[in-house]
Chains A and B, each alone.
Chain A
């Protein structure tokens, strides 16, 4: 859904949050607190074995276990089952979760959180050479807030300002750790495509004096994407020719290694998953057909608000859909959106997730999943899958995340109540067995951090008073 404008607004919101320059004190404090959490999270509570006991466990793939237990060993889920049959290893840290719910960490397949220095490289129609991985920042407070909403894994995407945006990155929100540790090393490579109004610059235009950028129509968007693959094939042929000449014992000059063309070629080779921002049925069909024509697959249609009109075709292509439940009408291309879209996609056999495109929605994707029960009547289990295992499958990480099963990553969230209820909140969020959010710890830390801030400001004021008296004294004596 995100227009470039709203993306920039979000970016400026982030900046504002980060600086908290013109915000009330309370916000500044909250930020400071969360940031300092990062310092304490630098040594997350490490326990070789942790057992969560007496919780209702929503495994997602293997049903619900009332009065269940989960044994975490290191970074993995070691065992899950009824508490009565759990064996407690000696020295294990035990969390009594009586009355509480445990679910896997939420997977957000559309995030723009934690990007430094702009989420769009606007300057060209195809900027497939830029990499989100280069500009991740572990100082975006929204990461911590998303952990507080149970979100643990995200696909961090380039914006939608151009038909081909940039290389996106799958991360885990390991707040307080270096960004190099956020990157899910065995996750597939991904690239962002965008269709419709944003890439044709309807919603944000260059300042006066700078010419409008191609493309200006949906036809042009299609042509940019097709053109990229035509060029990529030429590029591949050039390298093939070079390699052949070399193999024959020649001394050819190697062609230029073009990072953009390398990426396009890898899409054709099936090494890079395409995540495409789209709204209207016509552009969805255009891209599916273009993929068939050029020989690449679309892994996930992002937003896909008119997906319900072409659900069968999407399912036939094998594309997934990642969408919002009840955002519509926010721009021309969103007028035909309906909240039943999710249920209709699911019923048509499309692998569907709810995702955020928003630092704010990313904190409560459980609630968006719950709405799918109201709009379209999905079952509780189907709804929970929307924000967990389905996203994991779209990211090809379902062997690691998205459900509570022995052998999977211990990305777990303890909730005070059922996560599909608006009254529930997150108590503790684990990623790979380590605690990255804990409500009790957060509350305790607030005092400490507020005190540190007071102390630091006081020290600063005292030092200034000390270094100024020369001038001040002179003024007074005059």
Chain B
């Protein structure tokens, strides 16, 4: 009864001031006339989703619309449960440029501010979501993320967060979602600085956690005659992981890395989830017993034809077959979700589309970003489908959501409508940065000039792209661009060994030209750059 009165008051308010509608408390909404893609059953044409107090009260064809509901007529549109992106590092800084052993020492102001992660590191305590982060996801239909830092080996405990406009605490759906582990070596001369060191470190840490739990259990029973074991926050945090209560997400893209992760999980009887898994197509049958989060950041070919022809067949073949991984997993019956992983918000839906182009059905794709990730992380009673009792995360799209020209028009998070950014530019893509585009760089070295052609793209302060020159080609690494100052690293493979190694560029953009210095094994040199080839 009081609910009805509240709704009345709400409607009254709504009549009086329509602008602050977005910030209002969750109300009663009936979304009518659209095609419901429930993710748990067949599509319902001309269906109704009834939202009350943040939850789905009903969803289906014959739903009576209560008098207190605000009716949202979306005839011809498509209604979805909020999409879940189950592998992101949203809200955490980018990983540092890793200093290569033989390369020059890299100045990393960003790295110094990175928090030290550990098994005890909680994503919920450290995540910093900006409105831009949230908007970039919401416009793609992603209303729930799972996030943890991508740096460190033990990345910490990830969390399931709803992307509403509420205070941070009310966004948390589940914490911890999982413990996340990445095979990231530390900078040279710091243990562990090799892959085998990383694996040894993970193994020793797990052994220590076993010993820690055992020691404390024995001490609790027999405090007399035993020295008191030390308290260690990190090792204590691993106890629910060793008891399989909390799963472990291993970030592993290649078949070899996945198999290494599987070996560790077997050794310590961990409940594992594989994330990345781009080479999953090679081992789809072996992944039937492991939940998989497939990153849809598919590799792109180099821009120049000559660079493509220089690549070995293995690389080309892999690049073309990786997008078949979701279809292969669907066929083998593996439990899998599609995630953006290291990709940008705006790459998520196009990446899913590429998986669909490579044999995944649209229905399977939808489940892989709704109910499947909800099940993998144990939140399928709250999220993942348009079903009664679940959290009212609802997306309205003018066309089927994976269609190329589809546009998300309205979204509800926890039963509240969240206003989407008006500008087209925010539709998952950042505005073009002045540094975006093709560049010709010239490095002046004593033995002559070195010409490098590069394609650069800046977004949220990060600089990405690729390069080619007579001394090598590949992706640029560790790039940053703040509007003026630019920094990035190219891995060179010169004919002479001394020319090989990392070249670290520091420069600034002035009047569409780049100027600065390059640190190499041979010394530091000047470079300049202009737009175009």
Contact = CB atoms under 8 A, between A and B. Distances in A.
Interface stretch (B146-154, B203-211, B431-439, B522-530): B203-211
B459 interface: no
B218 A251 contact: yes
B472 interface: yes
Contact of A18 (B200, B225, B308, B312): B312
Contacts of B185: 117-118
Contacts of B263: 134
A118 B196 contact: yes
Nearest to B493: A16
B260 interface: yes
A123 interface: yes
B102 A251 contact: no
Interface in B178-204: 183, 185-186, 188-200, 203-204
A28 B311 contact: yes
A259 B199 contact: no
A184 to B, nearest CB: 18
Given A122-B194, A256-B211, A459 B320 contact: yes
A306 to B, nearest CB: 27
A31 interface: yes
Contacts of B189: 122-123, 206-207, 210, 213
A151 interface: no
Contacts of A453: 313, 316
A207 B211 contact: no
Contact of B101 (A8, A124, A129, A134): A8
B186 to A, nearest CB: 8
A254 B211 contact: yes
A204 B185 CA distance: 19
Interface in A103-158: 115-124, 127, 129-132, 134-135, 137-139, 158
Contacts of A124: 191
B342 interface: no
Interface in B139-183: 183
Interface stretch (A19-27, A231-239, A355-363, A424-432): A19-27
A401 B307 CA distance: 44
A179 B208 contact: no
A20 B311 contact: yes
Contact of B105 (A23, A135, A139, A207): A207
A189 to B, nearest CB: 15
Interface string B465-497: 000011111100000000000000000010001
A25 to B, nearest CB: 6
B301 interface: yes
Contacts of A31: 312-314
Contacts of B105: 207-210
A132 B316 contact: no
B511 interface: no
Contacts of A36: 313-314
A250 B226 CA distance: 10
Q: Interface centre among B203, B210, B229, B493, by most A CB within 10 Å? A: B493
A457 interface: yes
A344 to B, nearest CB: 33
B219 interface: yes
Chain A interface size range: 35 or more
Contact of A253 (B188, B215, B316): B215
Interface string B315-346: 11100100000000000000000000000000
A132 B196 contact: yes
Contacts of B469: 22
B215 A179 contact: no
A32 interface: yes
Nearest to A18: B312
Given A21-B310, A35-B313, A134-B200, A253 B229 contact: yes
Contacts of A259: 200, 203-204, 207
B93 interface: no
A381 to B, nearest CB: 39
Contacts of A25: 309-310
A116 B92 CA distance: 28
B308 A460 contact: yes
Q: Interface centre among B99, B190, B197, B317, by most A CB within 10 Å? A: B197
Contacts of B5: none
B102 A134 contact: no
A379 interface: no
Contacts of B196: 115, 117-118, 121, 130-132, 134-135, 158, 166
Contact of B192 (A9, A123, A139): A123
B125 interface: no
Nearest to A207: B105
A117 B102 contact: no
A5 B102 contact: yes
Interface string A454-466: 0011011100000
Contacts of A130: 192, 194, 196-197, 199-200
Interface string A174-198: 0000111000000000000000000
B214 interface: yes
A19 B472 CA distance: 10
B313 A251 contact: no
29 contacts: A19-B474, A22-B469, A31-B312, A35-B313, A35-B314, A36-B314, A115-B196, A117-B196, A118-B195, A121-B193, A123-B186, A129-B204, A130-B197, A134-B195, A135-B260, A179-B256, A204-B101, A207-B103, A207-B104, A213-B189, A251-B222, A253-B214, A254-B211, A256-B207, A457-B308, A457-B309, A460-B308, A460-B316, A460-B320
Given A22-B473, A252-B218, A254-B215, 5 more contacts: A21-B474, A23-B310, A119-B194, A121-B193, A134-B200
- The 5 A-B residue pairs with the shortest CB-CB distance, nearest first, are A117-B195, A32-B313, A118-B194, A123-B191, A207-B105
